[in-house]
Structure 1
Amino acid sequence: MKSYVFPGNIREDILAIGNCQIPYMRTKEFSGINLESEALLLDFIGSPKGNVIIYTGSGTGAMDAIVSNYVKTKKKAFVIDGGTFGHRWYALCEYYQVESYDYKVSFAKDIDYIDLENVLCREKPDVLLCQHHETSSGQKFDLEKISKLCKKYNISLVVDAISSFLAEELDMETLEIDICLTSTQKGLNIPPGLSIIFISPKLKGYSFAHLGYYFDFEENLSNMKRGQTPYSPATSIFLQLHKRLLQIRKDGGVRNVINKVKERALYFRQLCMENNWNIPAECPSYAITGFYVNRNSDKIFRALIEEKDIFIMPGSVPGFFRVSHMGEQSLEDLLELALAIKEIESR
């Protein structure tokens, strides 16, 4: 099987952990593993003095936790709504009855940053929620520009880096991000099941809200001090996370991972150009390539699975597909994928 989704193909030594007997988690050994994972995660995202919460749950669970614990303490939220996942921030604010402004950005378009500043001045929010990379379209937003505006107007910055972590440059401290999140099945390229929240040291001692039992920030932060979770974790995935973080450190660190993702993305985009497949994102992330095919779009997804044992991601609009550049993937694999898509498209 060849997988160009999330996660992509996973290293065999990581998969092997999932086939092992599961150790008991309330031990000093498991605590030590989690504390080392926390330190590595904070180092990789550029916030060595921050804190980490690791939930057994998807990325949306972490978004829910951020809104219910943190955003709920604010008077007004500002949501950059550039697609499916940007809109999810707005839906969560509505669910928790947080006053919020839904700033819509067209599909695969970049933000008009001059207009953004004008609207921020008018709306006067005290927290801004955005994606670094809107996974539904492939569009990457400019966090440096967003961060400068947040600093200028004293707005707390919360960033969903679920699909940009380990695919794009991201330094939480430099960008003065207060809370950031990711999940295990994207850049970390291990099985889905864990979501990770990074909390800036600026928020140490912050009075979070308490609107959810399982996702309560203070309860989870208190337990993480001893390397534990308050409730039963997905133990095997915690072990896979630890091993993957050690591999990243051993194999040259974050820079090396990002460079590999970038190389694959640029190569596949060249193949897209050669096949006249349009890439709509104005500023595409290296994490994925979203592209339009010209013919037989209704056949490509199923034919790749049934005939080639290949998985890619369909998009929310006709003829649009997405290919991840994370995971175990070679340039030869990408050429094979492009040839397979071209062959089905040409029938």
Structure 2
Amino acid sequence: MKGRKLLMIPGPIEFEPEVLRAMSAVTTSHVAPSFINSFGNALDLMQKVWLAPNGQPFVVAGSGTLAMDMAVANLVETGDNVLVVSTGYFGKRYQDILERYQTNVTFLDAPVGEIPSLESIENALKSKAYKLVTMTHVDTSTGVLVRPKEIAALAKKYNALSILDGVCSVAGEEIKQEEWGIDVVLTASQKAVGVPPGLALLVASSKAMQTWEHRKTLVPNYYADWKNWLPIMKAYQGRKPSYFGTPPVNLIMALETSLKIIHEEGIAIRVQKHQQLANAFREAITALGLNILPSKKEDAANTLTAIYYPSGVEAGEFLKQLSKLDVIVAGGLLPELKTKYFRVGHMGAVTSIDIISTLSAIEFALVKCGFTFESGIGLSTFQKILNKEIE
């Protein structure tokens, strides 16, 4: 027995062996030539993976929430109007962050499982001048996928900056930051980027950097201030040492390793693989008689799936039965539906074998919980759909 569980939550995820080896390497100095080159390569690769060749990458020790915080801390000032387009828990988190900076937040959401319409977004933007618009590409609490290209175009039309919370989407969903005119795309290391937790990652456009440079007041967050981090990023990209805070050396070496794997595979191919696996998995879940949380299939993310428990199946018992087969999924996150659904992550280094194992465990748990269905229908549907997808 391998003595470990299969981690199928929406982050942290299963990691490539090469990434884990980088994590376990002997830690070097943060000004050693080898590390300077590794950090510089990681920053260069971010521009390629984000498809933002002229963007300014930032890598800072912290979580995805720090990346969210850093993006707005540098761009907003007291009294600015901000529009938050929300599809779940993390849209509300962005509202909470923005209110700390004494901005005027307009919170635009939709019923659970749905997306605010482009018409409603444009109507909000027409109503007053906004400094920026935030959107959650994939809300980890709901598995709902928004279309950032269209929202960024509306923000640009009304002279607002756009921020894409890509914590659960970067390197797993299609993002063309520069082509689509998105001003900041942020994420965290432990999601589809494929690195253990601990790095806040973002790329800012030239327009975003100019907005920061021309702000009238100091950034009211010392750790997040680009004034402290920009010289560091520029130095390492220029293959020179620099210091503000000690970087997490092994995490950054692991980041370089993972970004190399993603770039060599090709970001378009990687996104396509996520789409193929996700589509086959959703069809398998539907075949079992279960419903997903997004109201429309086309609004469902390709990095995770939120699934309602069927009638009569209790959350605690279902998750316990799954754990017996060494498969770990996530429970619900939305407070109002916490015990009504569960979430399966399928991003990064995930394989069809991982998903087959997960589906087998789900079928086992459903049987143990007294839910009836055609035995093996989920597994056979997944393989049938996947075979069609990759023909």
Cα distance between partner residues in 2 of 1:245 and 1:343 = 36
Query: Runs of 5+ in structure 2 lacking a partner?
Result: 237-241, 369-391
Match in the other structure for 2:45: 40
Sequence identity (%):
25
User: Aligned-pair RMSD on alpha carbons?
Assistant: 1.7
Cα distance between partner residues in 2 of 1:328 and 1:311 = 16
Cα distance between partner residues in 1 of 2:187 and 2:284 = 29
97-106 vs 201-210, greater mean Cα deviation: 201-210
1:325 partnered with 2:346: yes
Conserved? CA contact 2:86–2:110, under 8 Å: yes
Q: Deviations over 1:65-122 (max 9, x none)?
A: 2222212377211111221111111001111211111112222102222122112212
1:242 partnered with 2:248: no
70-79 vs 163-172, greater mean Cα deviation: 70-79
Partner residue of 1:337 out of 358, 370, 374: 358
SS of 2:106's partner is strand
Conserved? CA contact 1:132–1:161, under 8 Å: yes
Match in the other structure for 1:200: 205
Cα distance between partner residues in 1 of 2:71 and 2:156 = 20
SS of 2:347's partner is coil
1:149 deviates by: 1.2
Cα distance between partner residues in 2 of 1:182 and 1:259 = 19
SS of 2:133's partner is strand
Change (3 A) 1:131 1:174: same
Normalised by the length of structure 1, the TM-score is: 0.94
1:207 deviates by: 3.1
1:221 partnered with 2:246: no
Larger Rg computed on CA atoms: 2
SS of 2:202's partner is strand
Q: Deviations over 1:205-241 (max 9, x none)?
A: 4235421222111210111111155201111110000
1:166 deviates by: 1.2
Match in the other structure for 1:4: 8
Change (3 A) 1:53 1:65: same
Conserved? CA contact 1:183–1:196, under 8 Å: yes
1:278 deviates by: 0.3
Match in the other structure for 1:291: 307
Q: Deviations over 1:109-144 (max 9, x none)?
A: 022221221122124322111111112101111112
Normalised by the length of structure 2, the TM-score is: 0.84
Match in the other structure for 1:265: 278
Match in the other structure for 1:112: 117
Partner residue of 2:330 out of 291, 294, 313: 313
* Amino acid across the alignment from 1:102: F
Q: How many correspondences in the alignment? A: 345
1:51 partnered with 2:53: no
Partner residue of 2:148 out of 143, 151, 166: 143
Conserved? CA contact 1:298–1:319, under 8 Å: no
Cα distance between partner residues in 1 of 2:340 and 2:353 = 24
SS of 1:71's partner is coil
Cα distance between partner residues in 1 of 2:205 and 2:340 = 41
Cα distance between partner residues in 2 of 1:72 and 1:32 = 36
Match in the other structure for 2:380: none
Conserved? CA contact 2:109–2:115, under 8 Å: no
Change (3 A) 1:328 1:47: closer
Match in the other structure for 2:320: 302
Match in the other structure for 2:246: 232
1:39 deviates by: 1.2
Query: Runs of 5+ in structure 1 lacking a partner?
Result: none
* Amino acid across the alignment from 2:302: Y
Conserved? CA contact 2:219–2:225, under 8 Å: yes
* Segments ≥4 residues shifted beyond 3 Å: none
Match in the other structure for 1:152: 157
Q: Deviations over 1:29-78 (max 9, x none)?
A: 32221111111111111110111111100010111122222123772111
Conserved? CA contact 2:161–2:208, under 8 Å: no
Cα distance between partner residues in 2 of 1:81 and 1:214 = 26
1:17 partnered with 2:33: no
Change (3 A) 1:229 1:276: farther
Match in the other structure for 1:97: 102
Cα distance between partner residues in 1 of 2:161 and 2:219 = 19
Cα distance between partner residues in 1 of 2:260 and 2:181 = 26
Match in the other structure for 1:131: 136
Change (3 A) 1:170 1:276: same
SS of 1:225's partner is helix
Cα distance between partner residues in 2 of 1:176 and 1:83 = 24
* Amino acid across the alignment from 1:10: F
Conserved? CA contact 2:185–2:204, under 8 Å: yes
Cα distance between partner residues in 1 of 2:89 and 2:27 = 36
Cα distance between partner residues in 2 of 1:74 and 1:266 = 43
SS of 1:26's partner is coil
SS of 2:245's partner is coil
Conserved? CA contact 1:267–1:331, under 8 Å: no
